[in-house]
Amino acid sequence: MTESEQLIAAMDNRVRRRDERREFFKAAFGVGAFAVGGAAALSFSGKAGAQTTALTDADILNFALNLEYLEAQFYQIAANGTYLPASMTASGGGTAGGTVTGGRKVGFQDQVVAQYAREIAADEVAHVAFLRSAGALGGSAVAMPNINISGDASGPFTAAARAAGVVAADGVFDPYADDNSFLLGAYIFEDVGVTAYKGASPLVTSKTFLQAAAGILAAEAYHSAIVRTTLYAKGVQTPSLRTAADAISNARDTLDGTSGTNGGDLDQGISPTTVNGQLVSNIVPADPTTAIAFSRTPQQVLNIVYLGAAATMGGFFPNGVNGTIRAGVSA
């Protein structure tokens, strides 16, 4: 077998192992494991009730702004013990922003992780400020919706962790409890942000806005790499971290549907794999044959943050996001 054939075979094995992990997850936890509020998570199409109106650049940027509000609030409270000021959550027209439930400052023991958290927090706050600026959405910016980032028994982090099998069915996952818990909480968000921006990029018509979105995507990719690399490294001494990250990845995949590559298995965890007979890390969540980062549609992103494939609200956004893109988007 030639070196090229060995590489292709190794890639095929990698895809097959990912498929096997996904099938195991489905059998163990159920396809609808992330459904909340009675939502039917067995439906993955995202076509029912889909919007037929054309989306504008402002619609796309406001969708991104909702996600930036979520990330900024999570990192700000975890790293600095504060929320965004009210002046950064009101709409461009002055409508007051929603409420934030839960969250507290993490008592970091690893100062490198603490520094990472503060840098990402500053970046996410800057993303919110930029998207709300006159050079972007300006007066068209939507207000921050109600956000739930609670780490208690009834919060979305616990719901996600229970569904993924990271904690027991009656367990609690608190991302503010310690360094490792914070990293796993951040991991839930980061890959979703990267794939959301990549998925939305073809919908942006303005070159100026597209350049801005590409710049934010690059920053989010660095954030994702920081979180994934740190979890991977810490997983050498604490293998359960890699196992938990893989379980979260599989759980996100139950909501992605069948669109995309690799039979709908878009996501991937951080456990090492083998390429051409050599053990390699798994830092970049990309297509295994092209090494190109994958995309998520707006509907797939909403499925994850709402924690339900057929949900129109819930999870981290208890009343849904604000703006045109809320649910049922077929783009």
Q: Which residues neighbour 329 within 8 Å (Cβ) at sequence distance 6 or greater? A: 46, 50, 51, 55, 297, 298, 299, 302
pLDDT band at 27, cuts 50/70/90?
Answer: very low
Long-range contact pairs involving 264-268 (C-beta distance under 8 Å, separation at least 24): 264/44, 265/15, 265/18, 265/19, 265/22, 266/195, 266/294, 266/296, 267/191, 268/18
Query: Residue 249 has what DSSP assignment?
Result: H
- With the C-alpha atoms ordered 224, 226, 229, 235, is the resulting torsion angle positive or negative? negative
Beta bridge partners of 260: none
Band (pLDDT 50/70/90 cuts) for residue 109 is very high
Give the number of C-alpha atoms closer than 13 A to the C-alpha of residue 53, restricted to the C-beta side: 7
- Over residues 207-217, the mean pLDDT reads 92
Contact between 251 and 238 under an 8 Å Cβ cutoff? The reply is no
Helix (H, G, I), strand (E, B) or coil at 124: helix
Which pLDDT belongs to residue 311?
86
Q: How far is CA 294 from CA 62, 103, 193, 228, 263, in A?
A: 22, 30, 11, 16, 13
- What type of residue sits at position 258? T
* Cα atoms in the 13 Å half-sphere on the side-chain side of 48: 10
Its pTM surpasses 0.85: no
Rounded Cα–Cα distance for residues 114 and 122 (Å) = 12
End-to-end CA distance of the chain: 43
At residue 53 the predicted structure's pLDDT band, cuts being 50, 70 and 90, is low
- pLDDT for 219-277, tens place per residue? 999 999 999 999 999 999 999 999 999 999 988 888 766 444 445 567 888 988 888 88
Stretch 105-122: mean pLDDT? 98
Contact 75, 124 (CB under 8 A): yes
The answer to whether the beta carbons of residues 253 and 244 sit under 8 Å apart is: no
Q: Does pLDDT of 289 surpass 90? A: no
191 pLDDT higher than 70: yes
The per-residue pLDDT for 13 is 47
Q: Look at 311 and 71; give whichever has higher pLDDT.
A: 71
Share of the chain above pLDDT 70, in %: 80
Whether 67 and 196 have beta carbons less than 8 Å apart is answered as: yes
Contact 34, 308 (CB under 8 A): yes
